């Protein structure tokens, strides 16, 4: 979206038109909507903005739920925006630390700022991009008493004593549509500046999950977050926002529930053991936080192989921090023999998981010639130099505890 499209959209006519446009479900729907609106006499800028927003709102429901239908987005802003349940956790941490005003530097379209304001915090939301800042102002309009939005550089903001800082640096090239990832040296605002700021004010810094662990400050709490099976961020917390004695944390959000594993440092892996009755696959946040050993001990399990994130054991235990599979048997790791064995067992629906082996699951599935009414999981991995194919069944999860912590 450029400034001319924004100006056309942010008018009574533009907003009314946006509310009247059905959600496009295909490229053909988009083409029909554009043709219909142009035939009705609307300007090219307004048509482009309205149809583009209708498409973005449909995509945004995965992060914002029903709230997406009253927000405005850019494509790049939506890609980097925090999911609502995660943003609510950010806001809760600031409130619990006694912070009442948060400077959201690099606020994007305002996802985190919305959560801060909804939690009763005062928010100063700042973004260096003019269009993005304007969209944030629109999105935060229901919280005009709590939130102020500015167009400007994060580095130029004068903070007040007691302010907390939320920093979500742009980790992609500038633009509102097609962008590419950049390294930490090219973040905007610069990461070094943000880390220095976090030594002066209590701060949370949102980074990608694959951020170089060697660059994490020793005095920061590093919290990896997964949402419904996908690791979505690494948050670095400083000052009163960092919990005493916690340097590594894995927060798992799933189906409306939250589970957290914390530790003062990386945990030591359990020893390798032979394949048992169960295989456990740690959640991605646990893997990133290097807390696999803690989960293995809670499951009375060991590692299936060195440097491979599968655990195995005989105890019928489950954890919110790992998916559990009951082992049926091992099968030959050769395509023709494997396909024949699966057909003999009547397996027509197969979940394929792999770690430590170079296999394309989609390509393998097409070569197996599956037939039958049964369903199973195939775990492809290695033990030493040997490749292993484990036929298993996913075990359902039931967790009563809201959170599990290691002191």
Q: What does the pLDDT look like over 20-36, one tens digit per residue?
A: 998 888 889 999 999 99
Confidence of residue 179 (pLDDT cuts 50, 70, 90): low
Distances (CA, A) of 1 to 4, 16, 81, 124: 8, 18, 16, 24
Count CA within 13 A, CB hemisphere, residue 88: 10
Residue 217 neighbours by CB under 8 Å, 6+ apart? 195, 198, 236, 238
Q: The whole model's pTM is what?
A: 0.90
Q: Which tokens hold the place of 319? A: 């954890």
Say whether pLDDT at 150 is over 90.
yes
Mean pLDDT of 338-346: 96
The residue assigned the tokens 């069944």 is: 393
Q: What angle do CA 160, 163, 165 make, to 5 degrees?
A: 120
Q: What share of the chain has pLDDT > 90, as a percent? A: 85
- 8 Å CB contact between 112 and 104: yes
- 8 Å CB contact between 125 and 117: no
pLDDT of 14 reads 92
- Cα–Cα dist 275/209, whole Å: 30
Say whether pLDDT at 407 is over 50.
no
Residue 87 neighbours by CB under 8 Å, 6+ apart? 111, 112, 114, 115
Element (H, E) at 328: strand 322-331
Mean pLDDT estimate for the chain: 92
The residue assigned the tokens 């004593």 is: 161
Residue 17 neighbours by CB under 8 Å, 6+ apart? 37, 42, 46, 50
Q: Which tokens hold the place of 89? A: 């956790």
Say whether pLDDT at 404 is over 90.
no
- Cα–Cα dist 10/20, whole Å: 15
Residue 155 neighbours by CB under 8 Å, 6+ apart? 189, 193
The pairing of beta strand 257-263 with beta strand 230-237:
unpaired
**Per-residue model confidence as pLDDT tens digits over 122-140:** 999 999 999 999 999 999 9
């Amino acid at each position: 979206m450029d400034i001319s499209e924004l100006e056309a959209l942010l008018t009574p006519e533009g907003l009314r038109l946006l509310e009247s446009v059905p959600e496009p479900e295909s490229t053909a729907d988009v083409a029909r909507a554009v043709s219909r609106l142009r035939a009705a006499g609307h300007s090219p800028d307004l048509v482009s903005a309205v149809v583009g927003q209708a498409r973005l709102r449909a995509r945004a429901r995965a992060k914002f739920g029903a709230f997406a239908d009253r927000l405005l987005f850019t494509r790049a802003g939506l890609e980097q925006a925090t999911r609502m349940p995660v943003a609510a956790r950010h806001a809760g941490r600031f409130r619990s630390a006694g912070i009442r005003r948060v400077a959201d530097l690099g606020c994007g379209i305002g996802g985190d700022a919305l959560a801060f304001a909804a939690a009763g915090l005062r928010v100063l939301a700042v973004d260096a991009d003019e269009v993005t800042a304007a969209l944030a102002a629109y999105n935060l309009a229901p919280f005009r008493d709590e939130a102020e939005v500015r167009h400007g550089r994060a580095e130029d903001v004068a903070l007040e004593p007691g302010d907390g800082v939320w920093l979500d640096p742009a980790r992609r090239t500038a633009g509102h549509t097609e962008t590419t990832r950049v390294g930490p040296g090219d973040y905007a605002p610069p990461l070094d500046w943000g880390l220095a700021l976090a030594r002066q004010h209590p701060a949370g810094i949102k980074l990608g999950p694959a951020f170089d662990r060697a660059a994490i400050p020793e005095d920061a709490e590093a919290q990896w977050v997964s949402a419904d099976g996908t690791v979505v961020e690494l948050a670095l917390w400083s000052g009163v926002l960092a919990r005493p004695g916690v340097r590594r944390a894995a927060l798992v959000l799933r189906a409306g529930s939250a589970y957290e594993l914390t530790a003062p440092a990386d945990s030591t892996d359990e020893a390798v053991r032979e394949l048992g009755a169960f295989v456990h696959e740690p959640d991605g946040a646990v893997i990133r936080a290097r807390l696999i050993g803690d989960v293995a001990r809670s499951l009375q399990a060991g590692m299936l192989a060195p440097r491979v994130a599968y655990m195995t054991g005989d105890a019928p235990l489950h954890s919110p921090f790992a998916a559990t599979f009951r082992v049926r048997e091992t099968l030959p790791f050769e395509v023709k023999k494997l396909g024949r064995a699966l057909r003999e067992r009547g397996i027509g629906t197969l979940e394929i998981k792999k770690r430590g082996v170079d296999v394309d699951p989609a390509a393998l599935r097409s070569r197996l010639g599956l037939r039958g009414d049964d369903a199973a999981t195939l775990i492809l991995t290695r033990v030493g130099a040997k490749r292993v194919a484990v036929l298993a069944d996913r075990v359902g999860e039931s967790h009563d505890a809201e959170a599990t912590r290691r002191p």
